[in-house]
Amino acid sequence: MDNLPKISNLTFSVKSGDSKCSIAHGIKASIDLYMQTQIDVFFGPVCDYAAGPLVRQAKFWNIPVITAGSMAMDFSSYRFETYPTLTRVGPVNFSSLFTFFLRLFKSYEWTRFVILYSKSAYSNIVTNMCHLTIEALHYNFMEKRSIYQQRLFKYDPGVDINRMLQEEVTDM
């Protein structure tokens, strides 16, 4: 770090908008910022739903987007063709979570499993976080269906989970 050139007379101007973790509000805030001010880089949004449209548009504006979000599988699957200006700086994304599970399953020689999830769990963190997480695991394992057999069950309030487990899961 000592060898880096010193930059003097550098000014940072920070503008912010509220995506409300919404596709519509996120892209509106992004376009408003882009049209009203000189934007050199977007930091955020963290919410995947708001990040998607912005990162797709940032490709045409040639503006980098740096976020701890964008964890959904699409951000990895279409990284270069759809999201070339995206840099994810978070500790994990849902594709890396799949890699962890794949290594775990290989280590224990597991080939059959059940995914039981609630679509709205942890929505206080990110809207439909469980759904996004499970989607990445499910579709990545689908690509390896010759090796792994999976069953996917969405648990909703009011569902008798004991009955579901007895009727559905024991069939595997």
Q: Please give the residue that has the higher pLDDT: either 52 or 167.
A: 52
d(CA 138, CA 98): 9
Name residue 87's beta-bridge partners. Answer: 66
Query: Does the pLDDT at position 2 exceed 80?
Result: no
pLDDT digits (tens, 9 = 90+) for 53-69: 999 999 999 999 998 88
pLDDT at 135: 84
pLDDT at 157: 75
> Range with the lowest mean pLDDT among 42-46, 50-54, 112-116?
112-116
Q: Is 153 helix (H, G, I), strand (E, B) or coil?
A: strand
pLDDT at 60: 96
pLDDT digits (tens, 9 = 90+) for 97-143: 888 889 988 988 888 888 878 777 777 777 777 888 888 888 888 88
Q: Average the pLDDT over 36-57 and give the result.
A: 91
Half-sphere exposure of 50 (CA within 13 A, CB side): 24
- In the chain, beta strands by DSSP E: 42-43, 65-67, 86-88, 112-117, 149-154
